[in-house]
Amino acid sequence: MVLLYGKNSFKATLVKKISTIEMYINRKSEIINTAQRLSFDHSLKELAMRYETQTSNAKAGI
């Protein structure tokens, strides 16, 4: 069975597929940005804990 598409129908389908792909790309970017932010937050927490440990060790004279 051969399906014949009108020019407008094909264009509408193509536009819909492109917008769907763009939506997935945007979602992926948001996920990556969130992961990077969480990683950065975790790194800051680790630095703060190390600083706290060093400060308390220095106060204790260790």
pLDDT at residue 1, as a whole number: 41
Question: pLDDT digits over 7-38, tens only?
Answer: 778 888 888 999 999 999 999 999 999 999 89
Complete DSSP assignment for 13-34: HHHHHHHHHHHHHHHHHHHHHH
Taking CB atoms within 8 Å and a gap of at least 24, the contacts of 1-5 are none
**Higher pLDDT among residues 10 and 5, named by residue:** 10
* pLDDT tens digit sequence for 45-56: 998 999 998 888
